[in-house]
Amino acid sequence: MDKNQVIGITMLVLMFWVYIEFFAPEPPPPEEVTTTQQDQSPATNATPSIGTTIEPQAVPDTVLQAQRAAQFGAFAEAATGEAREITIENKDVRIKFSTLGGSISEVLLKNHLTYLGEPLILSDQSNLEISRILSSQGKPLDIKDLYFSTRARSVTVNKGDTTRVLFTLEMGNGYIEQEYSIASSGYQVGYNLNLKGLDNLIDNNDLTIHWKNQAKRLEADLNDARMRTLVQYYTLSEELEDLSSSSPELIQMQSEQGIKWASLKQKFFTSAIIARNGFRSGNFTSSYNPLDSAVVRDADMILTYPIGDLKTGQGDFTFFFGPNNYQIMKKVTDGFAENVELGWSVFAYINIFLTVPLFNWLENYISNYGIIIMILVIIIKIILFPLSYKAYMSMAKTKVLKPELDEIKEKFPDDAQKAQAEQMSMYQKAGINPLSGCIPMLLQMPILLALFNFFPNSIELRQKSFLWAHDLSTYDSILDLPFTIPMYGDHISLFTILMTASTVLYTWSNSQMTTVQGPMKTMQYFMPIMFMVFLNSYSSGLTFYYFVANIVTFGQQAIIRKFVDEDKIRHMIEENKKKNANKKTSPFMARLQDAMKSAEEQRRSKPKKK
């Protein structure tokens, strides 16, 4: 725009302003609008304009009273009131109750945060509803719909180290009483439900507890959280049952036998109800909506309880809202520690009696969990050192025999059966058991598999950082990919890569001391690659443990190698050959040779593919 254009525009603006200010005509005065009586009356067929608020027509009190009387019968008056909140807390939890239903309205775990760093509210009115349904004069009566009061003597008080709150609903000469209590620490909430003097109002049908619970998303990895969230229950006959499924479809299970407790177990936290005398039966369902990323799983539990216990002061329950910590859960009730996933059978026992106590002991002295894992590796490697030493010595003996074993292969290049028989004879004369190197490794496998279950489910590692890993309970990512690789994922875990590299190096080192040849020598490198794919989305604490374990194993072998004299081993083998020259084949070797012979014959008998 040049200078002349600027001047022209400026003059136009000034002329327009002068016209508006001095020459524009005055606006006409507003016309008076006469409103007739017909205009003032509301039009019955008029359509309200946008933004108009239509006030709902008030329902007459008499109609409301009739509706409440039809629904609640003798308890109709208790169905009206004003809800108030009461809060009790200890060093671990803060629990809010509502006078509406005398119900738990919120549970906050003080010592934990969500994956977003927000306060961890495990349950509130948005995701938990606990109905307690009685039968009153032939109609269902849900306690959660009634308003309770707190007596003057029962306002929240401290009695010893226990905080109690009592909710009461008085009905003539009787009452419904609900008492909650928590200790000075811990995650258990005592709950007593008692009916006094209400035989004429409450029928003798069993109490039904209907627990509706949506598991909130508390962890970053939604898919992993869903895989590890399940409904489960423990029977009075000490059997654990669960509704585990990776499918979003509804799954259902029913139990007609007595039930001790039922829970919604998430990866690191559990909500549960426990009955001191046991529930009569239970009906359980579980499902999830794959499109809802805020909810991990929907749980629905229906439990029946003898009404007679409530009328005789034995309605004794316990709620649990807390972490899946083995040391905490094993003290709650029988079988409750099963909510901590420690593996199957022998693997669980290894974790219970070795890994968990050792890990908790180290926690008392060390705050860095990466260092704890490294020390755990060293301790376990020391425990397993005799087996590692035996396996290494077996490989050292095989290495000494390798030239002679290679000669046998060259002597019988086209007769694998004959070559294997000659090799077995050579092993026997040399006094070497070809399986002696495998057995120590197999004996170590239960511990490795036990740790495979321990690390991904250890709440002690949750949100604990080390080096570049921000959370040792989930995978470490040094690079997020813009796409997803099937089975591998959409990220690159550095600890998994380090574990794989060290495993390949360890495999290569061992292969120098064995007689494995051909395809089998190549196949032994396939397993580490498979583990790299499979463990990429696993706990970084687990892959870090395996990586450190490989490094420590290298160190052990370097130390053993310094004290192993191959000349002495060769001399020992030569002495064994002289001593066993005329020795008959042992029964074990004979069976092994027969097995190999049978396998070779089967291989030869198969028709060749054209």
| Average pLDDT, 10 consecutive residues per value, the chain (610 residues) | 47 48 46 39 38 50 68 84 91 94 95 94 94 91 92 48 90 91 94 92 93 94 91 94 84 92 96 95 94 94 94 93 95 93 87 91 92 93 83 74 71 67 70 64 81 90 92 89 85 91 81 57 74 87 92 84 73 68 60 61 58
Containing 359, the helix (H) or strand (E) segment is helix 356-363
CA distance to 206, 259, 284, 594, per residue, from 281 (Å): 11, 6, 10, 57
Q: What is the pLDDT of residue 153?
A: 38
For position 249, what pLDDT does the model report? 87
Task: Let me know: does 543 contact 493? Beta carbons within 8 Å.
Answer: yes
* Predicted local distance difference test score (pLDDT) of residue 460: 92
Alpha-carbon span 323 to 219, nearest angstrom: 13
Domains, the chain, with CATH or none: 68-341 (2.70.98.90), 353-466+539-601 (no CATH)
Query: How many other C-beta atoms lie within 10 A of the C-beta of residue 216?
Result: 21
426: nearest Cα among 408, 413, 444? 408
pLDDT at position 505: 84
CA atoms of 397 and 72, how far apart (whole Å): 85
The residue assigned the tokens 């081993």 is 569
Place of tokens 């760093």: 117
**Cα separation, 510 vs 460, whole angstroms:** 35
Write out the E strands in 225-310: 230-235, 240-243, 251-255, 259-265, 269-279, 281-287, 295-305
Distance CA 315, CA 304 (A): 12
